[in-house]
Amino acid sequence: MGATYSQFFPPAPTLTEANIPRQDGRVFVVTGGASGVGLELSRLLYHAGGKVYIAGRSAQNAQIALTKIKAEKPDVPKARPPGELAFLQVALDDLSIIKAAVEKFTAAERRLDVLFNNAGVSNPPKGSMSAQEHELTMATNCLGPYCFTQLLLPTLRHTASTSSPGSVRVVWTASVAVEFAQTPDANFATPALVPQRDYEKSKVGNWFLAAALAKQCPEILSIVQNPGNLKTQIVRHFSSIVPLMAAPLLYHAKYGAYTELWAGLSENLTLQDNGCYVVPWGRLHPAPRADTAGPVQDLLENDSGVAADFREFCETATVKYR
């Protein structure tokens, strides 16, 4: 219970705009980078000198975000020149268009230092489906990011071969909902009776996918993080009373960006932490649930169990689109 409590009331962040190292020459992709946590994260990386691709479905929203970030003056002393911003159009709930987005990226870039699988959806209307007729939450939060990551893997591996160990990373996004999710089982494809259960299942799935990539590519640091309880559009599909009741426990989106920033850049993380779980505002989970951490270890150590089965579910659903 203490580990869950600390995710609602975390200690102060240790990596922020005040002390982020320079990121000159490094390339980042942030899915869902035009709003919420993704926007705040893109801002931090840009002002630290990185080249940031804001990946999302709406060119209009991305242009608004790019203009806003470029117009801002960073609130840090002795600010140095910013990096670059670009837009990468991709819709994670349509597997058929992800490959074209990756081809556009790789035509422009020879490296990718950190992929932030930040975008997600929570509690869409019951019965919502993706373009390929998968339950929408599972499609957006797991199948799309899995496909996107696998297509970007050659670029990530190439970058890792010429970079310091553990600096090339893939950061997946979970939620405090993992702490309350039902015990994982193999019923991945069937929508739940309650949309919140689909969300919980997808967030546990994101940890499974982080571990799966750690197993597949041990030279890339693949980790999952709960960004925190935040005031973002992720709650837009909830009843209006839910955000109102939860308001005292919700933090500004920039705090979620601090969590992702730590997961993506912290020198405290090494390849020995591959497949790990990060919690707000940037620290290793002190006590993950045994019934969730167990399948992760089964995958990492034995390449078996329900987490391995989930990887195979995602592989089967996406392979023809790669």
pLDDT digits 0-9 by tens, 237-270: 344 444 544 556 788 999 999 999 999 999 999 9
Q: How confident is the model at residue 56 (pLDDT cuts 50, 70, 90)?
A: very high
pLDDT of residue 236: 43
Domain coordinates in residue numbering, the chain: 19-321
State the pTM of this model. Answer: 0.94
Residue 2: which pLDDT band, with cuts at 50, 70 and 90?
low
Tokens of residue 90, six digits: 């991709």
> CA–CA separation, 177 vs 199, rounded Å?
8
The whole-number average pLDDT for the span 123-152 is 97
d(CA 266, CA 317): 33
Active-site residue flag, 46: no
* Phi, psi for 305 (deg, rounded to 5): 95, -175
Whether pLDDT at 1 is above 50: yes
Q: Report pLDDT for 216.
A: 98
Region 50-70: mean pLDDT is 97
* pLDDT, average across residues 276-287: 97
- Distance CA(80)–CA(64), nearest Å, equals 23
Query: For residue range 203-219, what is the model confidence (pLDDT) as tens digits?
Result: 999 999 999 999 999 99
- Is 3.40.50.720 the CATH classification of the domain at 19-321? yes
Region for residue 123 given its phi and psi (left: phi exceeds 0; alpha: psi -120 to 50; beta: otherwise):
left
Lookup result for tokens 């890792």: 160
Residue 116 to residue 163: CA distance in whole angstroms = 18
What band does 79 get if pLDDT is binned at 50, 70 and 90?
low
What local confidence, expressed as pLDDT, does residue 245 receive?
A: 45
Question: What is the reported pLDDT for 232?
Answer: 65
pLDDT, mean of residues 174-200: 92
Over residues 19-39, mean pLDDT: 97
User: What pLDDT was estimated at residue 88?
Assistant: 98
Across the range 181-186, mean pLDDT stands at 90
- Catalytic annotation, pick one of 51, 53, 146, 203: 203
Q: Give the strand pairing for 114-116 and 169-173.
A: parallel
The mean pLDDT value of the chain amounts to: 93
Angle, alpha carbons 175-111-71 (nearest 5°): 70
Active site residue 199: yes
Strands 277-279 and 114-116: unpaired
Mean pLDDT value across residues 93-114:
98
Identify the active-site residue in 53, 199, 255, 277.
199
